[in-house]
Every structure is written in C-alpha cells, then in structure tokens.
Amino acid sequence: MKNIVTFDKSLKKDILDIFDKSIDEEGYIVEKSNTKQRVLSAEGDELELEDFAGIKKGSEVFIKNNIISLIDYVNSDKK
C-alpha cells in the first residue's frame, strides 16, 4: 500500500523549501542552488507551483495534480 501525504495549498512552498526548491518569476519550481534549472514531473514536463501535488518517496520525482499523474503514481508499485 502507498503512503500518501496530503497538504493544504498554502503549504506547497514550505514543502518545496524542505527539498531545497523555490519558485521562479514565472511560477515554475526550480532548484534553489540553480534557479534556471526547473524541476520536471514524472512525465518530463516543467512543473508550475499550481500543478504540484507531491514528491515520490525516496527520490525527487514530482507528481502533477491531475488524475492521470496521480493514478500513475498509485499504480507505479504494482509493476
């Protein structure tokens, strides 16, 4: 069974801060140490703060907040 942690939208920046991430001037999640390097979702897309749903345990795989990404995450251990 997957461990899923949910959090309020207002905590997104705090969660990202724990993982040394910040938000650039265009609203994308970036590395704090290199603000030109945007993080990618599991699908390989640059990820905006509003689309951030979580980070996969044991890695820095960012999960988008759409149903397909969430289903893929839940099913990823079943493979």
**For 22-49, what is each residue's pLDDT tens digit?**
999 999 999 999 999 999 888 889 999 9
Give the pLDDT of residue 6: 63
Higher pLDDT among residues 9 and 5, named by residue: 9
* pTM over 0.75, yes/no: no
Judge whether 6 and 42 are in contact, CB under 8 Å. Answer: no
Residue 4 predicted with pLDDT over 60: no
For 9, other C-beta atoms within 10 Å of its C-beta total 10
The percentage of the chain sitting over the pLDDT mark of 90, rounded to a whole number, equals: 35
Strand locations in the chain (E): 21-23, 29-31, 34-38, 52-55, 62-64
